[in-house]
Amino acid sequence: MKKALITGVTGQDGSYLAELLLQKGYKVYGLRRRTSTPNYENVEAFKHEIEWISGDLTDLSSLIEAIQVSKADEVYNLGAQSFVEASWPQPLLTGQITALGVTHILEAVRIARPQAKFYQASSSEMFGKVVETPQKESTPFYPRSPYGVSKVYGHWITVNYRESFDLFASSGILFNHESPRRGIEFVSRKVTDGVARIKLGLQKELRMGNLDAKRDWGFAGDFVKAMWLMLQQDTADDYVIATGELHTVRELLETAFSHVDLNYEDHVVIDPKFIRPAEVDLLLGDCSKAQEKLGWRQEVSFQEMIRIMVEADLQRVEWAMKSRLIPVV
């Protein structure tokens, strides 16, 4: 039986990846960061199938221990401070986890289990103020936030460990990917949750930032398949994973509001609080390398994904209202 260790397993991607690996018959070990208020929402349905190991990306000895205990064949590093906006008020924390955390886990692999295959969750945010469009593996990076800068470090240290120590270390440069399990602060979930609340009469307006930002939004459930495929190859490499389709935040709003027969213009208010100190205007990926070498394909379209997310938020908000978890105004 193959064994995998996942950091960030309770997050959106970690939960979809754990589900995929469990379906494939893996023994899945999840690194769990001790907190006084643990959140297992994304993994609730299968949390008893995961072997939990306590550890932290800022604590090398706990990572070495996790790798020794799990005897992992595959290590997926999905743990991070992953919200771009939060990386300005917390730049050092972001660097310690999202950047140096990668060296910690790579060191643990190098010391305790150098034969393991390693996946690093790199990000399209590394392209930032893009120098060419669409962006591919060879496109130079120009990060625009402490988060983006930290991800560039994580990417290059992964490449460096591959070249220095001959580790099987691959890096997936994933463009934005969303789902009903996405954190509520990201624009997709903020919009679909807002649409549900407005439709159910809980609020009237939705306060937003830059509606002209353009992104290449895919479905997280599709993207974790690419992570797994990268570690099934004979050699380690870096791959862009994207849909190749561009949409503005405004189009995202139109799609989500029109699904419940509402007009976003009646509800959206621009709030300067959500305008970022430095913006990434456009991200559009070219994933032809992943298509050719991994045989990876996107399955869920942008429209279908937004529909799934709005429906999931309608159900969740309705349930919370019935259970009186949300006061009805």
What are the residue numbers of the active site? Answer: 123, 125, 147
Minimum gap (Å) between residue 283 Cβ and ligand GDP: 7
209 binds ligand GDP (CB under 6 A): yes
252: number of CA atoms within 13 Å, CB side? 28
DSSP codes of every residue in 36-88: SS---GGGGGGGGGSEEEE--TT-HHHHHHHHHHHT-SEEEE--S---TGGGT
Decide: helix, strand or coil at residue 214: strand
Helical H segments across the chain, by residue range: 12-23, 60-70, 91-94, 100-112, 146-165, 187-199, 220-231, 249-259, 288-294, 302-322
Residue 121 within binding range of ligand GDP, rule CB under 6 A: no
Interface pick for ligand GDP out of 57, 75, 213, 268 (rule CB under 6 A): 213
d(CA 81, CA 119) in angstroms, rounded, equals: 17
**Residue 328, φ and ψ in degrees, nearest 5:** -85, 125
- For ligand GDP, which is the closer residue by CB, 139 or 188? 188
Say what the alpha-carbon torsion angle 189, 193, 195, 200 is, to the nearest 10 degrees: 170
Q: In this chain, which stretch among 126-134, 204-212, 295-303, 318-326 interacts with ligand GDP, using CB under 6 A?
A: 204-212
* 215 lies in the site for ligand GDP, by CB under 6 A: yes
Pairing of strands 247-248, 214-215: antiparallel
Minimum Å gap between C-beta 36 and ligand GDP is 26
Chain positions 135 to 174 lying near ligand GDP, rule: CB under 6 A, are none
CB of 271 to ligand GDP, least distance (A): 8
Contact between 173 and 148 under an 8 Å Cβ cutoff? The reply is no
Segment lying near ligand GDP (by CB under 6 A), choices 95-103, 208-216, 221-229, 299-307? 208-216
Q: 295-324 mask for ligand GDP (x: CB under 6 A)?
A: ------------------------------
Number of residues that bind ligand GDP (CB under 6 A): 19
Residues of this chain that bind ligand GDP (CB under 6 A): 84-85, 125, 176, 185-188, 190, 208-210, 213, 215, 249, 274, 276, 279-280
